[in-house]
Amino acid sequence: MKYIFGPVASRRFGMSLGVDLSPDKKRCNFDCIYCELDPAKPVNEYDNPPKPEEILKEINEAVKKFDFEVLTITSNGEPTLYPYLDELVNLIKNQKLLILSNSSTIDNKRIQKTLCKFDIVKLSLDAVTPKIFKKIDRPHKDVRIENIIQGMIEFRKIYQGELIIEILVVKGINDKEEEFEKINEVLKEIKPDRVDISTIDRPPAYNVEGVSIDRLFELSTKIHNQHIFIPTREKINFKVENLNKEALLTTLKKRPFSETDIKNIFDEHTQRIFNDIMKENLIEEVWVGGVKFYKAIV
């Protein structure tokens, strides 16, 4: 198949069947320094797009063959540049739909209307400072981070599905506490359902490095009152230790923890306290984008 890949087991979204809207070449208005695709000059339009019916034919064939939880719309580049995205979504909206976007077009009212048809929308926000944004995402000259942020805020007001913001951290670029404190202020306005914080885990296009998982957890402490998910395959040394009942409830009120976090970073004492207050019904379970979180009720 030309447009279909998978299904693949996603750490964040369950079993996913992928739809690549640009399988033959990279079409993107970013040239991110961490991208796994070859470097390419940013473009702001999609040349020679396939018709939605051509993609739909492959999707229908795949639906008959595979079991999956979510149909993920992606691209070798930016999927919202595909000019027939709205028509395609109207043809497949009987499926649970997820789109992975770099956020570059989120200030476009037409794009916002189309994205409202998705069950889950994942938008990237690697930086909010213009200088750092340009350094890490290397955008097309017409793309401005100020417009992206305002577009996200406006989109959240009309979008009824699950909005996930992803921050990808690159060593020496956007890995400073000061930038994460600024991101935190922006996230307060956007009000996403979940924030994913990750780093480079595949060979990048440019000579850059990711940060350690422990560093991701350290930076995540600058993000408050959000459901934070940090996908990891590595051993975690960062720990939440020796919290009493009051301290743990305060922590969980300030930042809900995922089920994986609790298993990996709570020490034995804190896990016992956690289990005790669970029995007292002081903590509630919240599912966001297929990930279970725990947050304090009080």
Domain boundaries defined on the chain:
4-233, 239-298
Distance CA 223, CA 246 (A): 21
Give tens-digit pLDDT for 129-168.
999 999 999 999 999 999 999 999 999 999 999 999 999 9
Question: 139: which 2 tokens?
Answer: 């955008």
- Check residue 39 and give its pLDDT: 84
**Cα gap 228→139, rounded to integer Å:** 26
Res. 11: pLDDT tops 70: no
Identify the pLDDT of residue 7.
Answer: 79
Q: What is the second-level CATH architecture of the domain 239-298?
A: Orthogonal Bundle (1.10)
CATH number for the 4-233 domain, one of 3.40.605.10, 3.20.20.70, 3.40.50.2000, 1.10.10.10?
3.20.20.70
DSSP string, the chain: --SEEEEEEETTTEEEEEEES--SS-B-SB--TT-SSPP----SS-SSPPPHHHHHHHHHHHHHH---SEEEEE-SB-GGG-TTHHHHHHHHTTS-EEEEE-STTTT-HHHHHHHTTSSEEEEE-S-SSHHHHHHHH-B-TT--HHHHHHHHHHHHHH--SEEEEEEEE-TTTS-SHHHHHHHHHHHHHH--SEEEEEE--S--SSS-----HHHHHHHHTTS-SS-EE----S-----B-S--HHHHHHHHHHS-EEHHHHHHHB-HHHHHHHHHHHHTT-EEEEEETTEEEEEE--
Q: 155: buried, middle or exposed (CB in 10 Å: 19+, 13-18, 0-12)? A: buried
Q: What is the pLDDT of residues 217-260, one digit of tens each?
A: 999 999 999 999 987 755 556 666 777 888 788 778 777 788 87
Q: What is the Rg, in whole angstroms, of the alpha carbon atoms belonging to the chain? A: 20
C-alpha 249 chain-centroid distance: 27
Report residue 259 as tokens. Answer: 């089920």
pTM across the whole model: 0.83
CB atoms under 10 Å from CB of 83, counted, come to 12
- pLDDT for 1 beyond 90: no
What pLDDT is recorded for position 136? 97
Q: How far apart are CA 154 and CA 172, in angstroms?
A: 31
Asked if 184 contacts 213 with a C-beta cutoff of 8 angstroms, the reply is: no
Question: What is the percent of the chain with per-residue pLDDT over 90, rounded to a whole number?
Answer: 56
pLDDT digits (tens, 9 = 90+) for 77-88: 999 999 999 999
Q: Quote the mean pLDDT of the chain.
A: 89
pLDDT at 271: 86
The answer, yes or no, to whether residue 201 has pLDDT greater than 80, is no
User: Are the CB atoms for 195 and 223 separated by under 8 Å?
Assistant: yes
What is the pLDDT at residue 239? 65
Q: Tens digit of pLDDT for each residue in 95-120?
A: 999 999 999 999 999 999 999 999 99
Q: How many CA atoms lie within 13 A of 145 on its CB side?
A: 18
Cis bond before residue 7 (omega within 30° of 0): yes
Find the range with the poorest average confidence among 47-51, 185-189, 235-239. Answer: 235-239
Give the pLDDT confidence score for residue 120 in this predicted structure: 96
Q: What is the dihedral of CA 84, 86, 92, 96, to 10 degrees?
A: 130
DSSP per-residue string spanning 147-163:
HHHHHHHHHHHH--SEE
Q: What is the pLDDT of residue 266?
A: 81
- pLDDT, position 279: 87
Q: What are the beta bridge partners of residue 296?
A: 283
Rounded distance, CA 145 to CA 32, Å? 14
